Amino acid sequence: MVILLYKWLFLLSAFLHEADVVLSRAGVRHPLYVSVTEINHNAADKNLEISCKLFTDDFEKTLANIYQTRVDLTAPANKALADKMVMEYIKSHLLLKLDNKAVTLSFVGFEKENDAVWSYFEVQNTAAPKKIDVVNTILYESFDKQINLMHVTVGGNRKSYRLNNPDKEASFQFTP
């Protein structure tokens, strides 16, 4: 039931985002800002796989404000610089602890999909965690009404949580 609600919320936000593009051109602000973070433990590879989906225009605006430069993630003039900005931003706004031990995210890359950007990270050589603690402040500095949805899967068990700005911490418990 919760997963269905999150899927519906994300689809609704995508629809509203499209409408907001038209409204923003008329000077009206977005009513809804959403990101989705997927965290999956791959038991076969013993890796934690992380993907973050953000609306491209919201992400570009945030990066432009931080780096004081124009940012184009759709067709970056300097792909290495775009990779660096995406990597540094996500790594500083998405912090993970596995079984109470902080881990470092390794950047895999990013890609554009329709109106969104997916960024990919991993934590290699990890056993299935019993507990995952997350600090997620993605886009909080730009949007007071930012919503960050998180879906975490370990051992085929999927759990979801929603953070509303300024809430930033979530914890997921899994049993072996």
* β strands within the chain, DSSP E: 33-42, 47-55, 94-98, 101-103, 106-113, 116-123, 131-136, 146-154, 157-164, 169-173
- pLDDT band at residue 11 using 50, 70 and 90 as cut-offs: very low
| Nearest Cα to Cα of residue 72 among 23, 112, 34 | 112
**pLDDT tens-digit readout, 26-44:** 444 556 899 999 999 999 9
Share of the chain above pLDDT 90, in %: 81
Q: What does the mean pLDDT of the chain come to? A: 87
Res 26: pLDDT: 45
**pLDDT tens-digit readout, 66-117:** 999 999 999 999 999 999 999 999 999 999 999 999 999 999 999 999 999 9
**Domain locations in the chain as residue ranges:** 32-173
| Nearest Cα to Cα of residue 76 among 35, 109, 37, 42 | 109
Res 31: pLDDT: 66
Overall pTM > 0.85: no
pLDDT at 15 over 60: no
**pLDDT tens-digit readout, 106-136:** 999 999 999 999 999 999 999 999 999 999 9
